Structures are given as structure tokens and as C-alpha cells.
């Protein structure tokens, strides 16, 4: 039997190690140099599932060591998501297919953005911003949008981390509990790493698919517009449409989104706040996690990650969450419908404008594999399901009110169209007029009440007379 490492007690506890580091007692001993599975007590070997097979034990320990080492080296914060691991995982997804944007491509994007601004000036009253469209690599898109992803995903990640920690603590074999000591930090790091790995995979997939900073309806890059050059080129493959025309159409959409978010200051914050509020209210099904943890094969550490991929943490929505999602989808539909309509006006000179419009509509309505992965992870589908109805509404308002009148609807959240307006666009103006008249009547009545006019008697009105001989009494 090999001698115990210096300063380590036979029970695995190390008085001189950092008590806040739950890995030092267990994994420092198990995964130190020259590990021999025969050194472990028989009870512990049985608890770990090796059943006396040194080769299986050695393989299991090597796999676990690699996983835990990555987790520990990438844990740069105590937050619910290991963002270092998420970024590394995302990078692996797109790094091999992320060429730098050539000077010629950058020049083409700049020229197309100037033309797009000229065309959009004739289709919307919202002015162009001062920030030109940037040409991005996939990594640049990830870096520019990471701050927004943190806001969206960390609330649900917090719930996932707590659920994992609680479930796995209950599954610790009795023989190991003394060695682990305080395991809260260890399992929280494990949960943060698992979530970070899966989220990184989803964002890496999105980085290979999105066309720009607003491609999924959210201002992910803030006020900076950008085009992912490689993705736009890939999107145009197989469409049998000139590459420059595809690029111009994508830039028209990015520029229209950017103008809308820039000139409607409440829209961006309300949209992001709605997503954050939705995520904070997500409930994680603890019973599913506990059941999955019990079924994990100790000799297969990859099973930990596969739990996420199989939608294990797919949040369980409440009725309140369903209502919040409906409101969010309505707002996304109104945004995408407005952009769809405005770009169709601006792109009238493009020969393949209608073909590109229909392609974009189907693309946004159906989403892609990366969006599905993201949806399974945080329970949120960022899809404008009623895009066509919303586009029809904006087209009707344009015909009825003109460009200025159509865009004025964005002036206040209370003026925004409802589900009823999407179903009946022609009745939008009449409904707003009736609502305005009811508000005016209420305002007048309230003014009279505050002025005490309802308490005054009208001498010309017989019903206001207090004369007992009045025949009307």
C-alpha cells in the first residue's frame, strides 16, 4: 500500500488545505501524480463503481480528472455560469470556420450600407444613426453580444445551478461524504460548468448562423450594427441570387432594426427587461434532475453534459410565464413585421427582393438548430410567430396614414398594436379613436368632479329644485 501524501490524513481530510476548496481533499489525493486505484479503500472503490476492476477505475479517474481540471481552471467567478468555459466551447464550434473579413469584403459592406441608408430614408421617418455598420467575424459577433446573453441567461442559470447542487449532494455515497466536507462550492462550480458548456455550444451554433447583431429580433450588440460576413455568404449559397444583392438585403434589415431601436428608446429596454423577467420566473423541475443524477454512469463523465443536451433542464412554464411569453412574442412580431414591411419598400429596386423577403420570413418563423438548442436550455423561443400578420398591419397603417403616421404608432408603449389588431388590421384606427374618446370623456368627468361641479345645482333644471311646492317633487 502506497504511503499517504504529505500533510494528508488517511481519511482524506487535509487540515492545511484551504477549507473553501472542496476539491483539495478528494481530487488532490485521487488525481495526484502516480495514482494507483489499489490505494483506495475497498468501500470507496465499490462506491465509485469500479467493482474491483483496476483498468476501469483508472479510465474513470482519468476522465474525471480531465473534466474536473477543466472545470477548476476555467472557474473565473462564483456566478451561475462558467463564462470562460462557455466562451471556450463556443470558440471550438466556429473557430475552424471563421476567416478574417477581407479588405474587399469590408469595402463591399461599407458601400452597401451607404446605399441601404439612402433607400431606407424613403421608407421610414426614423433617421439613420451615426454608427456605421461593421463587418464582423463570428468571434466578433460573440464578443459584441456576450453582455446581453449574460443578462438573458444568468437568471435561469442560477436556478439550474441550485438544482444541480441540491440533487447531486443527495447522491453522494456515505463513504465519500467525509472526504468531501463542504461540497456546496464544488457542486455549484459543477453546475456552472455544465450550464456554461451547453450554453457555449448553443451560442457557438448561433455564431455560425446569425447574419447580424439584430438577426433574432433583440439588440444583442447594443447600438452597434454589424454584419457577420461569412454567414451572409453562406446564407446566399444555393439561393441562385447575386451575392451583392443578398448582402444588400441583409444590410437593409440590420439597418432597419438599428434605426427602430435607436429612435424608439423604450423598445430596447422593455424587450430585454421582458426577457430577463421571463427568465427569472422560470421553475426548474427538481424531480427530473434528481432522477437523472441517480441514473448517471460513474464511468461515463460525458453523461453529465448529455443531460443538458437531452433537454433535462427544459424549464417548466407556469400560466404567468405563458402570458409573459405571449407578450414577448407579440412584441417580437411587431418588430419583425415592421422591419419586413419597411425593407420591402426600400428594396423595391432589387430584382430578387420578394424572393429574399419570403426566405427571410420562413427563416425567422422556423428558427434553426442553434435556436432550438437555446430554447431547450432556457425555455425561451425568440421567434415572431405572427410575423406575417404584423407585416400586414404595418402595411395597412402605411396605406392609411403614410410613413409618418405609421411610424408614430411607436411613440408610446400604450399605443402599440394588440393581438386583436393583428387579427383585424382595418379596425385598428377605429378602436384607437374609441379608446381616445373614452379617455377624453373620463378626463372631462374627472375634471368636473375635482372642481366640485357635480355638487352645484342648476337653477334651470327642475330636478335640482328644493322647493317643496314644486310639482315635480
Model confidence at 169, in pLDDT bands (50, 70, 90)?
A: low
Query: In the chain, what are the helix, strand and coil shares in percent, each to the nearest 5?
Result: 65, 0, 30
pLDDT at residue 74, as a whole number: 46
pLDDT at residue 201, as a whole number: 87
pLDDT at residue 436, as a whole number: 67
Q: Which residue has the higher pLDDT, 298 or 424?
A: 424
Is the pLDDT confidence value at 14 over 50?
no
Percent of the chain topping pLDDT 70: 60
CB 92 within 8 A of CB 204: yes
Least confident range from 6-10, 33-37, 88-92, 422-426: namely 6-10
Spatial neighbors of 157 by CB under 8 A, at least 6 apart, are 79, 80, 81, 192, 195, 199
**What pLDDT, in 10s, does the model give residues 17-70?**
443 333 333 344 333 444 455 555 554 455 455 444 666 656 555 545 545 555
**What pLDDT, in 10s, does the model give residues 177-235?**
565 555 667 777 777 887 888 889 889 989 999 999 998 888 999 889 999 999 999 99
pTM of the complete model: 0.74
pLDDT at residue 440, as a whole number: 59
Q: Which is nearest to 158 in space by CA: 320, 382, 315?
A: 315
pLDDT at residue 465, as a whole number: 52
Model confidence at 442, in pLDDT bands (50, 70, 90)?
A: low
Spatial neighbors of 366 by CB under 8 A, at least 6 apart, are 383
DSSP state of 226: E
Instruction: Name the average pLDDT for the chain.
Output: 76
Is the pLDDT confidence value at 15 over 60?
no
Is the pLDDT confidence value at 99 over 50?
yes
Q: Residue 48's CB: how many other CB atoms inside 10 A? A: 21
Q: Which residue has the higher pLDDT, 254 or 58?
A: 254
Q: Which residue has the higher pLDDT, 467 or 316?
A: 316
How wide is the angle at C-alpha 266 spanned by C-alphas 272 and 401, nearest 5°?
125
Is the pLDDT confidence value at 300 over 70?
no
**What pLDDT, in 10s, does the model give residues 111-154?**
999 999 999 999 999 999 888 899 999 999 999 999 988 888 88
Percent of the chain topping pLDDT 90: 37
CB 271 within 8 A of CB 218: yes
Task: Map grid coordinates 425561451 to a residue.
Answer: 380
* b (16+ CB within 10 A) / e for 401-428: eebeebbebbeeeeeebeeebbeebeeb
Amino acid at each position: 500500500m502506497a504511503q499517504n501524501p504529505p500533510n494528508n490524513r488517511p481519511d482524506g481530510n487535509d487540515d492545511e488545505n484551504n477549507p473553501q476548496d472542496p476539491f483539495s481533499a478528494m481530487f488532490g489525493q485521487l488525481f495526484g501524480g502516480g495514482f494507483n486505484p489499489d490505494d483506495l479503500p475497498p468501500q470507496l472503490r465499490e462506491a465509485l463503481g469500479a467493482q474491483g476492476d483496476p483498468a476501469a477505475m483508472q479510465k474513470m479517474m482519468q476522465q474525471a480528472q480531465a473534466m474536473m481540471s477543466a472545470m477548476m481552471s476555467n472557474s473565473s467567478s462564483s456566478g451561475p455560469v462558467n463564462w470562460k468555459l462557455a466562451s471556450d466551447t463556443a470558440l471550438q464550434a466556429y473557430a475552424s470556420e471563421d476567416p478574417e473579413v477581407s479588405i474587399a469584403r469590408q469595402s463591399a459592406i461599407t458601400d452597401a450600407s451607404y446605399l441601404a441608408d439612402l433607400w431606407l430614408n424613403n421608407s421610414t421617418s426614423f433617421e439613420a444613426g451615426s454608427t456605421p455598420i461593421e463587418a464582423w467575424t463570428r468571434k466578433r459577433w460573440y464578443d459584441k453580444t456576450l453582455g446581453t446573453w449574460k443578462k438573458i441567461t444568468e437568471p435561469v442559470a442560477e436556478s439550474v445551478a441550485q438544482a444541480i447542487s441540491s440533487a447531486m449532494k443527495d447522491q453522494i455515497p456515505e463513504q465519500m461524504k467525509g472526504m468531501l466536507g463542504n461540497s456546496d462550492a464544488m457542486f455549484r462550480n459543477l453546475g456552472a460548468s455544465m450550464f456554461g458548456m451547453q450554453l457555449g455550444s448553443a451560442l457557438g451554433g448561433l455564431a455560425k448562423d446569425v447574419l447580424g447583431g439584430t438577426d433574432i429580433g433583440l439588440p444583442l450588440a447594443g447600438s452597434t450594427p454589424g454584419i457577420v460576413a461569412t454567414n451572409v455568404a453562406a446564407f446566399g449559397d444555393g439561393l441562385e441570387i447575386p451575392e451583392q444583392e443578398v448582402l444588400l438585403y441583409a444590410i437593409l434589415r440590420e439597418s432597419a432594426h438599428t434605426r427602430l431601436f435607436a429612435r424608439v428608446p423604450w423598445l430596447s429596454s422593455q424587450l430585454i427587461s421582458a426577457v430577463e423577467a421571463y427568465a427569472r420566473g422560470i421553475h426548474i423541475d427538481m424531480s427530473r434532475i434528481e432522477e437523472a443524477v441517480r441514473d448517471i454512469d460513474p464511468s461515463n463523465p460525458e453523461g453529465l453534459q448529455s443531460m443538458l443536451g437531452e433537454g433535462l433542464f427544459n424549464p417548466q412554464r407556469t400560466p404567468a410565464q405563458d402570458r409573459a411569453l405571449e407578450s414577448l412574442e407579440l412584441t417580437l412580431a411587431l418588430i419583425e413585421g415592421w422591419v419586413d414591411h419597411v425593407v420591402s419598400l426600400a428594396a423595391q429596386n432589387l430584382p430578387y427582393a420578394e424572393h429574399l423577403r419570403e426566405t427571410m420570413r420562413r427563416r425567422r418563423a422556423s428558427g434553426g438548430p442553434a435556436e432550438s438548442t437555446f430554447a431547450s436550455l432556457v425555455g425561451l423561443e425568440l421567434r415572431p410567430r405572427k410575423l406575417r400578420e404584423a407585416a400586414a398591419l404595418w402595411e395597412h397603417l402605411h396605406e392609411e396614414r403614410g410613413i409618418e403616421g405609421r411610424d408614430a404608432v411607436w411613440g408610446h408603449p400604450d399605443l402599440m398594436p394588440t393581438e386583436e389588431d393583428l387579427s383585424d388590421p382595418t379596425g385598428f384606427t377605429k378602436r384607437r379613436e374609441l379608446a381616445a374618446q373614452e379617455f377624453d370623456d373620463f378626463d372631462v368627468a374627472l375634471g368636473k368632479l375635482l372642481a366640485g361641479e357635480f355638487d352645484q345645482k342648476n337653477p334651470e333644471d327642475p330636478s335640482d329644485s328644493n322647493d317643496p311646492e314644486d310639482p315635480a317633487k
